[in-house]
Amino acid sequence: MARDERRDGDTPDPRATPQATWGGRFEEPLDAVALRYSASVDVDKRLAPEDIRGSLAHVRMLASRGVVSEAEADTIAKGLETIAVEVAEGSFVWDAAREDVHMNIEATLTERVGPVGGKLHTARSRNDQVATDMRLWTREACRATAARIDRFLAVLAVRAANTVDVLLPGYTHLQRAQPVRLAHHLLAWAEMLDRDRGRLLDAARRMNESPLGCAALASTTFPLDREMSARALGFDRPMRNSLDAVGDRDFLVEAVAALANCAVHLSRISEELVLWSTQEFGFVTMSDAYTTGSSIMPQKKNPDMAELARGKTGRVVGDLVNLLVMLKGLPLAYNRDMQEDKAPVFDAFDTVDDTLDVLRGALATARFDAARMRAALRDGFADATEVADWLAARGVPFREAHHVTGRLVGRCVAEGKVLSELPLDAFRAEHEAFDESIYAALDLETAVERRDLPGGPAKARVRAAIAELRERLDARGVDTDAVAAADGASSEGGA
């Protein structure tokens, strides 16, 4: 179909003249379908604050080098600042015919301040411009998500402090294994998320280099001060290679990989909340604020927020795959494929941020059933390892002790008993080393307290771990008590 024979409704906006966007090389406007296909402003307008920040730093640097006059820079800066206010207020009018956030802002600026607005793009390409914008946005997004993780950790610290005396089975293969403290379990979640926080901040540090001034791919002939614009934008330094600066998005891959890892951890936490809230487990009751009912079964109280958190993890993992596949076949330097980097990055951050917030609230308001947790310890032979360890401590090779204990468990299963209900004669029938002290070793509290090593569930170790977590949060400026109070974290030790 010839460009002058388009169907009704296909004609591009008349403002989108070829010269307005692409200059004199093009004689016809872009086909309407191609324009709609390639426009990204609906997604990348989110970068407007960063785009304006980068432009302000760029024009001030140009003025310092005499590329534009101070008066011209002032005019451009005032125009950009006005646009920034309109963007913040939501009154700025976005035009899809101008394709992206950069052209929308620059074209509007030029309409308002005149031809001098066209000087803003001197010694700059949209290639280094968008790379700068994305580094600015993602750097702050990493820090914001890290702060959300800290608020999550604050709730875990408070819930752990109030559940130190609550015992429950620890599981392997989803089979009851050994007794631990609920606080110890909550602190395991905290360790997982704290590492995710570290990965995000590591990514933020590594991406903190400025592409601005690298232009399309080969830098520019203008006498730029790249160090000045880098400092103005809070970057540590200019990037060292212009091709790399505009041609890679590994900083986004790294950030989204950290988010995917975090989402997986949140999914595992969610899975345990789903399991624990079933009648079969009965370890936790979720607040009405974070559960829903059934459209047909009035008795149901479904842990939907935890299930959604588990399900949304697939989106974040998909966002990471999206980025990796988009990049894997690209030659240097910039390719238009890279326009597709923004949607998965924004989605990954939004999804993880929302999941952190909703699960934080769910955990803060959940009620743990200490009695149900302790009852689960009685029925699962979680004290069996204590018998094997008791024998091994008296010189019996552990493999032999393991077999002896296994036979004792088998007898209990056959007789419908637990180990502590067996008479001493039954123990001695399996090994002559047994004496009355075996019963003290089978006490659950004793079993946990004997694991008094760094990283273990003994009470003193758990209390020290909680104190250390709170110290870390305090050093980051997190008021643990205030966060917990705002989220409604329970002060009841497991009720």
pLDDT at position 296, please?
Answer: 87
CA dist 272 and 316 (Å) reads: 20
Instruction: Check: CB of residue 222 under 8 Å from CB of residue 138.
Output: no
CA dist 104 and 39 (Å) reads: 11
Phi-psi region of 114 (alpha: psi -120 to 50; beta: other; left: phi over 0): left
Residue with tokens 């035009």: 95
39-122 fold: Fumarase C; Chain B, domain 1 (1.10.275)
pLDDT at position 335, please?
Answer: 95
Whether residue 41 has pLDDT greater than 90: yes
So where are the chain's domains? Answer: 1-32, 39-122, 127-213+240-374, 384-441
Whether residue 14 has pLDDT greater than 50: no
* pLDDT over 90, % of the chain: 86
**Element (DSSP H or E) covering residue 176:** strand 175-181
- Mean pLDDT (the chain, rounded): 93
141-185 pLDDT, tens digit each = 999 999 999 999 999 999 999 999 999 999 999 999 999 999 999
214-242 pLDDT, tens digit each = 999 999 999 999 999 999 999 999 999 99
Q: What's domain 384-441's superfamily in CATH?
A: Fumarase/aspartase (C-terminal domain) (1.10.40.30)
Q: Which residues are catalytic?
A: 173, 294
57-82 pLDDT, tens digit each = 999 999 999 999 999 999 999 999 99
DSSP string, 268-311: HHHHHHHHHTSTTT--EE--GGG-B--SS-TT--B-HHHHHHHH
Q: Name the band, by pLDDT with cuts 50, 70 and 90, for residue 488.
A: confident
DSSP string, 95-123: -GGG-SHHHHHHHHHHHHH-GGGGGGGTT
Cβ burial, residue 411 (10 Å; 0-12/13-18/19+): middle
What does CATH list as the number for 127-213+240-374? 1.20.200.10
Whether residue 2 has pLDDT greater than 70: no
Whether residue 5 has pLDDT greater than 60: no
Q: Name the band, by pLDDT with cuts 50, 70 and 90, for residue 48.
A: very high
Q: What is the pTM of this model?
A: 0.91
CA dist 315 and 300 (Å) reads: 27
CA dist 41 and 73 (Å) reads: 26
Cβ burial, residue 426 (10 Å; 0-12/13-18/19+): middle
CA dist 68 and 442 (Å) reads: 82
pLDDT at position 218, please?
Answer: 97
335-367 pLDDT, tens digit each = 999 999 999 999 999 999 999 999 999 999 999
Whether residue 186 has pLDDT greater than 70: yes
